[in-house]
Structure formats: C-alpha cells, structure tokens
Amino acid sequence: MDRVSDELPELPEYAERVLDVAEHIPPGRVMTYGDVAEWLGEGGPRQVGRVMALYGAAAPWWRVVRSDGALLPGHELRALGHYREESTPLREASRAAEGHLPRLDMRRARWDGGAEGADGAGSRSGRAEETTVTARAAGAEHEVGGGAAHI
C-alpha cells in the first residue's frame, strides 16, 4: 500500500520568484500579472496567474491583478476588503456596472517595482510603453515598462 507523504511538494523556482515579487509590492499598490512577468524577465501574464492561483494563498495575492483593474472573479469581496484596509486607490463603479463593484484605479495604484513605496512615488504616469524604470532585486537590474527586461 502506498503511503502519502506529509511533506509539501517543493515549490518550483519560477513560482518562488513570482511570490517573492508579490511579497515586495507595498501595501496600497498593485502590479499586473504582465508587470510581474516583465519584471522577472520570464514567462507571461498567464504563467504568473497560474502561479498565483496554485501557490499564492499565503502571499498578498490581491496585489497581483488584472491589467483592466477588475477585481479577481470569485474573490471580489475579500480583495475589496484588503484594498480598503490598505487604502489602495479605487474607481467606484457606476450604477450601470454589473454588481456595482469598484475597479482598481490602475493609474494611481500601479507600482513599477522601484524603491519608492506607497506614498505615490514610483507609480506609472501613463502607458507602460512610455515609462522606463530601473529596479533592483537580487543584484540584477531590470528595465520595467520600456520593453523586455534587461538582466
């Protein structure tokens, strides 16, 4: 008879890197799935989303978001509670909007991975293509927002 191990499976290296980025996003700020992939210089939005779905429960999952600012389907109320607690900028929904749930104000809430924190500095001022920011992590330099990451 096979015995089921009580040990947790080893976390894949890419998943560790994604979760590390999520842990470093300041309270009140967010990064999109694509931002995280671009910052790491590996994978894409779907891969980051898959990591967050499988392994992100213990990380601040509400800080890694869709690019349109919509709240994570199935977790809207939990995410909204975190956003309000952290004063994450939101855009209130119009009465015509389905469910009347707000969206993230991506222009104000988006974090570029720079040294600046939740005080508003370091946020993207517009389209990602127009903003290039250098961030440091684990001794590697990354260009975020201006194309592919440079390591």
Query: Could you read off the pLDDT of 102-151 as tens digits, one per residue?
Result: 999 999 999 998 865 544 434 433 333 323 333 333 333 444 443 333 32
Tens digits of per-residue pLDDT, 20-77? 999 999 999 999 999 999 999 999 999 999 999 999 999 999 999 999 999 999 999 9
Q: What is the pTM of this model?
A: 0.71
The total domain count for the chain is: 1
Nearest residue to 34 via CA among 125, 114, 149 = 149
| CA 41/CA 143 separation, integer angstroms | 9
- Torsion angles phi and psi, residue 32, rounded to 5: -80, 165
- Torsion angles phi and psi, residue 131, rounded to 5: -120, 125
The amino acid at residue 75 is: H
Does residue 123 fall inside a structural domain?
yes
Does residue 33 fall inside a structural domain?
yes
| CA 43/CA 13 separation, integer angstroms | 12
Domain membership of residue 111 as a residue range: 13-144
What's the sign of the alpha-carbon dihedral 49, 34, 22, 28?
negative
Does residue 87 fall inside a structural domain?
yes
Q: Say if strands 64-65 and 31-32 run parallel, antiparallel, or are unpaired.
A: parallel
pLDDT of residue 133: 33
CATH number at residue 138: 1.10.10.10
Q: List the beta strands (DSSP E) in 49-150.
A: 64-65, 90-91, 103-104, 133-137, 140-144
Does residue 149 fall inside a structural domain?
no
Q: Is the pLDDT of residue 19 over 60?
A: yes
